Amino acid sequence: MTSTPDVPATQTGLKPDAIGFIDALVIGLAATSPAYSLAAVIAPIVLLTGVHAPGVLVISFVPMLLIASAFYYLNTVDQDCGTTFSWVTRAMGPWFGWLGGWAIAMTGVLVIGSLAEVGVRFGLLTVGADAAADNTWLVRVLAIVLILVMTAVCVFGTEPSARLQNILIVAQVVALLVFAAVALVRVFQDTSTLEPLTPSLSWLNPFGQGGAALTAGLLLGVFAYWGWESAVNLTEESEDSAQAPGKAAVLSTVLLLLTYVAVAYAVVAYAGTTFLADNSEEEEFIFALLSTEVLGGWDWVVLLSVTTSAVASTQTTIIPASRTGLSMARRYALPGTFGRIHPRYRTPDVSTWWVAGIAIAWYLVLSVISENALFDSLTALSLLIAFYYALTGVACAIYFRHHLRGSVKNLLLIGVGPVIGAIMLGWLLVESVIDMSDPENSYTGQSWFGLGPPLVIGIGIALAGVVVMFVWRLRDGRYWQESPSVLEREQA
C-alpha cells in the first residue's frame, strides 16, 4: 500500500529511527513557535473579542485537532515525509497533490525570515542591547546568519536538530509558565500595575462578541496553532513511524491548547482588555511590554522565551518544506536534484538549502520594500495554511471511504471529523479572501491591483505554483501517471 514510484538509483534513504516519540512531540511543539505565535495574536484577538480571547483560542483548536486526526490516520498507511503531498496524490490525484505540496513549501518561504528576525531582535533585547535591536540592517544581517546556521543544523542530521529543539522548548515553555503564574498571582494579590480583571469561566465562551469579530479571531487562532505537523514530516526518520509521529502531532495540538489558554487567561487578567487593545499593533512585542510590568527586573525571562521560540521555529519550519521537496522529487514531481540525500548525514541537503535560499531572498526583498510588506506576506500565510490543511482533511475521508462504515470510530475519526475540519478551514479561507481584498485591512494600507497586498501575495504564490506545475508537467510527465483509480485498489 505504501509503495512509491522508483527513485533515482543514486539516492540513499533518510536515516531511520533517528528520533523517538518525545523528540517528534518537541519538534511538533517547537514548529508552532508557541511564545512568538501567542505574542503575535493575543492582543489583536483581544481587540476583536475582548475577554473572550481564551474562548477563541479554544474554538480555533477544534479544526486543528480534526485535521491532526487526519494526519494520524493517513500516516498509519503511508509513512511518506511529503505528508499532504503524498496523501492527496493517492486520494485525489496528482494535480491536487502537487498544489498541496507547493502550499506547504511556500509557507516556509514566507515565514522563515520573519521568525529569524524576531529571534535576533528579541535576543538582543534579552541581553540589554536595545540600540542594536533598533538597528534595522544589523538585525537583517544577523537574521540571515541565523537562517544559515539553523539550516546547517538541519543538514547535519535529525538527531542534533532534535537535541537542540529539546533544549529550546524547555526554555520556552518554562518561561511562559513562569510569566503566567506570576501574572495570575499578582492579579489575585491585587498588585497588578495595569487594569486587572478577575478571571471567569465565561471567558471560554468564544461567541461573546460573535459575527465578524469571531471570524477574524479564528483566523488569528489558526495561525497560532499552525506548524504541529512538522512531527509527521519526520515520519521516515522516526521510531515506530506508523504510529509515533501521528500521535505526537495530535498530542502537540492538545498541549498547545493548554498552554495558550493558560497564558491568555494570565495576560487578559493582568493587563485588562483596554491595555491590550490599545497595543494590538505591537503584536509580538506585546510580551516585551508586559514582561517588565509583570516580572520587573526579571523581564528577560519572557524575552528569552520569545527568542527561543522564534529561533526554534526558524529551524523546524525548514523541515516540512525540505521534506516535501524531497518527496516530490522522488515521485518526479520536481527535478531530481531536490531528491538528493546527503550520503553521510542522511538528510535532504539540496532541498534544505534551496528552501533557506529562497526564504532569504524573499525576506530581503520584502523587508527592503517595507517592514509592513513583510507583515503582509505573513498575513497571506492563512490562505496557504487553510488550503493544505483542508485538502488533507478531504483526502483522509476519500482515501478511507471504503472503511467509514466499518465502525462508529472510523466514521467519526477518519470521515466526519476531518471533513468538518476541512469545511471549517474552507470557510475561514473564503473569509480570509474577503477580508484581504480590502487594502485597508493590510499593514501597508496600500492597494495592489485594487486588492490588499496579502491577497495579491497569496494569489501570486498560487499562480506561480500553477505555472511551475504545468511547466514541469511538460518537462516530465511521470508523476502525472499516478491516479486514484489505480491507487485505491491498494487500500481496498
Report d(CA 128, CA 291) in Å as an integer.
Answer: 14
Percentage with pLDDT > 70 across the chain: 92
**Cβ proximity of 487 and 90 under 8 Å:** yes
pTM beyond 0.85: the answer is yes
Closest CA to 276 of 72, 82, 39, 454: 39
Instruction: Specify the pLDDT at position 396.
Output: 96
| Largest Cα–Cα separation, the chain | 69
Instruction: Specify the pLDDT at position 81.
Output: 92
Closest CA to 138 of 118, 151, 119, 121: 121
**Cβ proximity of 363 and 114 under 8 Å:** yes
As given in the structure block, the three cell numbers for residue 357 are: 535560499
Question: What contacts 58, CB < 8 A, 6 or more positions away?
Answer: 204, 206, 257, 261
CATH 1.20.1740.10 fits 21-370, yes or no: yes
pLDDT tens-place string over residues 323-355: 999 999 999 999 999 999 988 888 999 999 999
Report d(CA 412, CA 314) in Å as an integer.
Answer: 35
Instruction: Specify the pLDDT at position 3.
Output: 38
Residues linked to residue 238 through DSSP beta bridges, in sequence order? 19
The two counts, helices (H) then strands (E), for the chain are 21, 0
Report d(CA 70, CA 410) in Å as an integer.
Answer: 11
AA identity, residue 1: M
Give mean pLDDT, residues 468-482. 91
Instruction: Specify the pLDDT at position 486.
Output: 45
Cell match 495570575: residue? 184
**Cβ proximity of 120 and 366 under 8 Å:** no
Dihedral (C-alpha) 341, 347, 353, 354: value to the nearest 10 degrees? 60
What are the Cα distances from residue 159, in Å, to 20, 166, 238, 339?
10, 11, 10, 20
**Cβ proximity of 458 and 436 under 8 Å:** yes
Question: What contacts 129, CB < 8 A, 6 or more positions away?
Answer: none
Supply angle C-alpha 377, 58, 180, rounded to 5. 85
As given in the structure block, the three cell numbers for residue 10 are: 543514486
Residues linked to residue 451 through DSSP beta bridges, in sequence order? 448
pLDDT tens-place string over residues 58-112: 999 999 999 999 999 999 999 999 999 999 999 999 999 999 999 999 988 888 9
Report d(CA 409, CA 415) in Å as an integer.
Answer: 9
Choice between 416 and 315, residue whose per-residue pLDDT is larger: 416
pLDDT tens-place string over residues 220-236: 888 889 888 988 999 99
**Cβ proximity of 73 and 246 under 8 Å:** yes
Instruction: Specify the pLDDT at position 336.
Output: 92
**Cβ proximity of 206 and 55 under 8 Å:** yes
AA identity, residue 460: G
Task: Give the helix/strand (H/E) hosting 85.
Answer: helix 84-92
- Please, where are the H alpha helices in 195-331? 211-225, 230-233, 244-278, 286-295, 300-316, 318-330
**Cβ proximity of 329 and 339 under 8 Å:** yes
Expressed in percent and rounded to 5, the helix, strand and coil fractions of the chain are 80, 0, 20
